Structure 1
Amino acid sequence: MSRESGKNFQWTVLLSLLFAVIIAVFAVFNVDSVPVNYLFGTEMIPLVLVILGSALLGALFSGFFAIFKSYIGSRRIKELEKKLQAKEEELTRQQRQMQEMEEQIDTLMAEVPVVEAEILPPKQI
């Protein structure tokens, strides 16, 4: 883990704990029972349980979403790493082919006799 990501993680944990404490304090001051409507009926539940339950469900959904995004991101990284490796192999193969062609050109140039051109004086107008 890099130093920067470690600091980001520490700040995230610190802010999460601070938020949890604020929710807990808020929930403790709201202990009255309130009616909660379900699809199949109504129930009187202490507001502290509604607040804490809502915060817990929100944290769970956020956590699952973060895990899902991380999973998708890691799959994408693996896919891109495979593509990068294939491109690097293709580049190496093409460089090898270019080197072989350059060697062939050098060999052919060595076999071609050098003809010296006759230098003519420039035409006068």
Structure 2
Amino acid sequence: MKVRGQWNLILGLFFALLVAVFAVANVSSVTVHYLLGVSEIPLIIVIVGSALLGGLVVGMLGIFRQYKLQWQLKKLEKELTQTKSQLSQYQEKDLSPISITESTEQKEDQLAESTRSEETEKKTP
């Protein structure tokens, strides 16, 4: 995980350098049309502003995802605690889930046996 973070930092710095070089190479003024008006600003400001705005949006989405994952983790930890509590209650009552499963399987076998016997009775004239 540590190496991945270092690669992300290196790629981020490389991208920032690339944007800076591209922005410095384009210093001429351009006309920008807003919803409510028009203005003349240097292209370098448009490029850097767009890159910063894009970084801000990506960062906010990352923070949102992080909070969502933390919420899911808390929910799952709570569910795990409840499940462990239920398991300990079963063990105290000597009703382990294994014995419940075994009795369920026995009932299913009995049901299958009775179904087979009913089918053979129907076939026998």
Offset at residue 41 of structure 1 (A): 1.0
Partner residue of 1:23 out of 19, 22, 35: 19
1:67-102 C-alpha deviation (Å, 9 max, x unpaired):
010001101100100000100111111011117xxx
Separation (CA, whole Å) in 2 of partners of 1:78 and 1:71? 11
2:6 aligned residue? 10
Instruction: State yes or no: 1:90 paired with 2:86.
Output: yes
1:60 aligned residue? 56
CA RMSD of aligned residues (A): 0.9
Separation (CA, whole Å) in 2 of partners of 1:97 and 1:19? 62
Separation (CA, whole Å) in 1 of partners of 2:81 and 2:20? 50
- Gapped runs of 5+ residues in structure 1? 100-125
Segments ≥4 residues shifted beyond 3 Å: none
Q: Which has the larger radius of gyration?
A: 1
TM-score, length of structure 2 as denominator length = 0.74
1:2-61 C-alpha deviation (Å, 9 max, x unpaired):
xxx111111111101110000000000000000000111110110000000000000000
TM-score, length of structure 1 as denominator length = 0.74
1:78 aligned residue? 74
1:38 aligned residue? 34
Separation (CA, whole Å) in 2 of partners of 1:64 and 1:48? 24
1:102 aligned residue? none
- Gapped runs of 5+ residues in structure 2? 96-125
Q: Alignment length, in residue pairs?
A: 95
Separation (CA, whole Å) in 1 of partners of 2:28 and 2:53? 21
Separation (CA, whole Å) in 1 of partners of 2:80 and 2:51? 43
Question: What is the identity, as a one-letter code, of the residue corresponding to 2:31?
Answer: P
Structure number with the higher helix fraction is 2
